[in-house]
Amino acid sequence: MSADPRRQVPRTDTLLADGQIVPAVERLGRDLVKDAVRTVQERIRAGDVAPTAAVAAVLAELPDTAASLRPVLNATGVLVHTNLGRAPLSAAALAAVAAAGGTTDVELDLATGRRGPRGEAALAALRAAVPAAEAALVVNNCAAALALVATALGQGRELVIARGELVEIGDGFRIPELLESTGARLREVGTTNRVTAEDYTRAVGPDTGAVLKVHPSNFVVRGFTRSVPVAELAAALTGTAVPLVADVGSGLPAPDPVLPDEPDLQTTLADGADLVLASGDKLLGGPQAGLVLGRADLVQRLRRHPLYRALRVDKTALAALEATLRGPLPPVSRMLAADVAGLRARAGALAARLAGAGVDAVAVDSAARVGGGGAPEHPLPSAAVSLPEELAELLRAGSPPVVGYVEAGRTLLDLRSVLPESDEALAAAVLAVAGR
């Protein structure tokens, strides 16, 4: 009888020198491959893997990349899902990120060999997308844009803001706490449900650094309510020299007929805001970024402030932002624009294919959402593949992971948040976990 296989555990050095494993060491680094080797050696000792299958088991154990973040199929129907990385980048933006990831001319004018303005092309693309903006600035995210504005315009002074706009965005991020952390004092006006232009103008005085309007984003107040639109507030502030800053959050460059109630950058500036702030990775469909657009003198003040240096974006975000604005429609825009007939056809085809393979699958109508704190009361008509409830967990643990949602005892995979080119991968992922 041969020796106990558990005694024949291949040595770490032997496995790391194997012809099939060496390329993985080059691709992923020695430490990650060593982790996989150790895991497999444990399994051999436990008798779960044959010693002769060690190399194959190590290869199967290796991660795809040296980072642990994995691509996930978002079938939640929430287009901008914060827990799933918000806006997925377009292929054009991903290619731009890859190109800019190495050594790149982000701050060098190659024609003269001199230092050039950082990210000028991305800023020009922003101004082109929002013609009402004299100037633009990009920082790390919209919270950073708010912090910069509050510091540069409001430190030691007052920021006038409506009580109904002192909002919490999510995960404990409260805008009033962020503003006060900069040393600005908040001058709250109006009540929770109502505020008028006179409330604002009465509060404005020599100590006022700016008037701030914050889009409530993730909730609505109904009933006996009144807020002051940007145009009315701008008119009321005429002659006061107090800047009106509007944080619109979601970052639509221009009005979108699919989301009639969502504020956009161009209209907000055209209505008279001096600065408008937004996120880059919500409805704009780009990388995480904070966009600041508007009056050139104010943008210049922010750019010159020492805090700007701590908030500026890296070269890959600038590249992704420019490609999002100049390149083909980003995924979020395509998902928003998808017509429900097309979504139903895709759900029907997917369900038929799965049912043909013996999976309990039917196409159903569903309601998708913008997410990321946008258009909270605006369901988007959609279509989904309905599967047995127990598949939700298996799909999440699959490869690639698929995240759907459970409703009324069924797992729904909503297709508005899945691009058509991913339908094939979605079908394969379901078939893999449904055991067919």
Ligand X SMILES: *Cc1c(COP(=O)(O)O)cnc(C)c1O
Nearer to ligand X, 139 or 237 (CB): 139
Nearer to ligand X, 104 or 225 (CB): 225
Nearer to ligand X, 217 or 333 (CB): 217
Smallest separation, CB 217 to ligand X (Å)? 4
Smallest separation, CB 145 to ligand X (Å)? 8
Smallest separation, CB 299 to ligand X (Å)? 18
Which contacts (CB < 8 Å, 24+ apart) does range 9-12 have?
Answer: 9/41, 9/44, 9/45, 9/51, 9/54, 10/41, 10/44, 10/51, 10/54, 12/37, 12/38, 12/41
**Which whole-number Å values give the CA distances from 262 to 35, 245, 277, 374, 422, in the listed order?**
48, 17, 14, 8, 28
Nearer to ligand X, 4 or 171 (CB): 171
Instruction: Please give the residue ranges that form the binding site for ligand X (CB under 6 A).
Output: 141-143, 169, 214-215, 217, 247, 249-250, 279, 290, 373
Smallest separation, CB 202 to ligand X (Å)? 25
Nearer to ligand X, 277 or 429 (CB): 277
Smallest separation, CB 369 to ligand X (Å)? 14
23-61 burial, b at 16+ Cβ within 10 Å, e below that, comes to ebbeebeeebbeebbeebbebbeeeebebeebbebbeeb
Smallest separation, CB 407 to ligand X (Å)? 26
The residue at minimum Cβ distance from ligand X is 249
Smallest separation, CB 255 to ligand X (Å)? 17
Smallest separation, CB 375 to ligand X (Å)? 11
Nearer to ligand X, 40 or 248 (CB): 248
Nearer to ligand X, 288 or 382 (CB): 288
Smallest separation, CB 435 to ligand X (Å)? 40
Nearer to ligand X, 333 or 366 (CB): 333
Nearer to ligand X, 250 or 386 (CB): 250
